[in-house]
Amino acid sequence: MAKPRADERNLARLAVALVREFGGVLDHPQASKLWPAQGLPEPGQRDGMGGWTLGITQHWWGHRATKATKLYIVGCEPADIPPLPDLKLGDGTHVIAQDRQPGRGVNGERLRKGMPGWRPEVSAAEREHTPPELALWLVELAARCKRHNAALRGEPAERTK
């Protein structure tokens, strides 16, 4: 699990504030402590800014690991998001990190190479990177949020390009 530095935590809080003010999308790992710390809504809920959370897996966009991710979205209704890719059911061929919870392996051990369910870990670089197809999808989603928020403020659509 990541242990963010204080400046990284501050950057995450700033990102939440900016998404709430201007609309957009913020992505974070599914297990991120940012959601409870900032009062972000869980999937199926909304916050006071109209923001909502979409749970995705980056495997749908080509990541080798499942990489469960939460998206906090303000300014775009669920029906207005870009089309999702064809969903890939099941797990990725790799994992972000080996399961460290007791009881997941045989006789309560951690999963180790050779055990049923074990998969190799992705590299540190791949763990940090977003698949290019997902990055493009997020940019399109953010653009849709920006247009929506401009309309709410009564601004002409040209200013949001």
Asked whether the beta carbons of 52 and 73 are under 8 A apart, the reply is yes
Q: With 50 as the cut, is the pLDDT of residue 1 above it?
A: no
pLDDT tens, 33-50? 999 999 999 999 999 999
By C-alpha distance, which of 83, 96, 84, 88 is closest to 60?
Answer: 88
Q: What is the pLDDT of residue 40?
A: 97
- The residue-averaged pLDDT of 80-100 equals 81
Comparing 18 with 161, the larger pLDDT belongs to 18
CA angle 45, 48, 54 (to 5 degrees): 35
For 124, the token pair is: 């540190």
Q: Residue 26: enclosing H or E segment and its boundaries?
A: strand 24-29
Comparing 2 with 69, the larger pLDDT belongs to 69
Supply the DSSP symbol for 32. Answer: -
Q: With 50 as the cut, is the pLDDT of residue 91 above it?
A: yes
For 54, the 3-state DSSP assignment is strand
Asked whether the beta carbons of 122 and 96 are under 8 A apart, the reply is yes
pTM of the model: 0.80
Q: With 80 as the cut, is the pLDDT of residue 20 above it?
A: yes
pLDDT tens, 122-154? 888 887 888 899 999 999 999 999 765 666 667
For 23, the token pair is: 């609309």
By C-alpha distance, which of 114, 94, 115, 111 is closest to 102?
Answer: 111
Burial (CB count within 10 angstroms: exposed 0-12, middle 13-18, buried 19+), residue 35 = middle
For 90, the token pair is: 């099941």
